[in-house]
Amino acid sequence: MENVKIEVENFNLHIKNQHILKNINCCIPEKKITVIMGYSGCGKTTLLKSMNRLTDLYNKVAITGNIYLNNKNIYDKDIEITELRRKMGLMSQRPSSLPMSIFNNVAYGLKISGRKKKISMGLRIEHYLKQVNLWDEVKDRLHEPANSLSIGQQQRLCLARGLAVDPELILADEPTSALDPISSAAIENKFMDLKNSYTIVVVTHTLRQAQRIADNIIFMNAGEIIEQSNAKDFFTNPKHELSQKFISGILA
């Protein structure tokens, strides 16, 4: 039996008068890669952002239902939202490196997690840059601006900064959509390594990427979960007609 990291229960989300997420029920298993996929506009990113309450930032949002992290409802009144978000490293479609040096980007993550001792800062920054296979590429330019790196390198730097916060989960919203194939492969390979230590949730519209990295699939359409299963079963024997069409490339 897999340990459940996140459980979503009867979750609905409205923005203004639009029903975006409709009665969502799903489980995110611990230390696995769960891929959320589906057609554009189906609610994938909104579901991902609901897991760390970034949807609180939207205008005129109304929710019902529950989302549990480690069996604790993240919508309970006593939840400290900053601490909740610290537990979840977030990667966006495009890198969001901070306007500071490569070194200070990772140091920022360390400081957020409360690790501020200068005596160990350098070693920790080296550790996280090595975790994302970036150290050898930047070790001689740590004090250069982060935006001097390539897009692919910046995305790995953002991952290093996210890991430096010491999260429990990594939430990734189409993290390779702006990258070339080599940089995309580097991110995918790193996710495969990191799942031994972290729970990872990835939103993607790319079937081949999902086939390469997913342990579990959540397939969505029009704000609903149509099918969820382990990746092997989903790709070899999809149960729902919409899933079958999506896999075969036929538009619904």
pLDDT per residue as tens digits for the range 33-50: 999 999 888 999 999 999
Q: What pLDDT, on a 0 to 100 scale, did the predictor assign at position 111?
A: 83
The pLDDT score that the predictor gives to residue 180 is 87
Measured between alpha carbons, how far is 44 from 40 in angstroms, rounded to an integer?
Answer: 8
> What is the structure's pLDDT at 42?
93
Q: Is the pLDDT of residue 116 over 70?
A: no
Q: Which pLDDT band, with edges at 50, 70 and 90, does 1 fall under?
A: low
**What does the pLDDT look like over 154-171, one tens digit per residue?**
999 999 998 988 899 999
Domain residue ranges in the chain: 89-167
CA 205 from chain centre, in angstroms, equals: 14
Structure tokens at 167: 């999260």
pLDDT attached to residue 252: 44
CB 75 within 8 A of CB 66: yes
**pLDDT for the residue 237:** 93
The C-alpha atoms of residue 149 and residue 155 are separated, in whole angstroms, by: 9
pLDDT of 6 > 90? The answer is: yes
What pLDDT is attached to residue 92?
87
Quote the DSSP letter at residue 222.
T
Proportion of the chain above pLDDT 90, given as a percent? 72
CB 202 within 8 A of CB 33: yes
pLDDT tens for each residue of 89-110: 888 888 888 899 999 999 988 8
d(CA 232, CA 214): 9
Alpha helices per DSSP H over the chain:
44-50, 81-86, 102-112, 118-131, 135-138, 151-164, 181-194, 207-213, 231-236, 241-248
Terminal-to-terminal C-alpha distance of the chain? 34
What is the pLDDT averaged over residues 170-175?
A: 93
DSSP secondary structure, 30-45, as one string: TTSEEEEEESTTSSHH
What average pLDDT score do residues 79-84 get? 89
Q: What is the mean pLDDT of the chain?
A: 91
Mean pLDDT over residues 123-128, rounded?
Answer: 92
Q: What is the mean predicted confidence (pLDDT) over 218-237?
A: 96
Residue 119 pLDDT class (50, 70, 90 cuts): low
C-alpha neighbours within 13 Å on the C-beta side of residue 24:
36
pLDDT confidence band for 138 (50 / 70 / 90)? very high
Of the two residues 16 and 113, the one the predictor is more confident about is: 16
What pLDDT does residue 115 have? Answer: 67
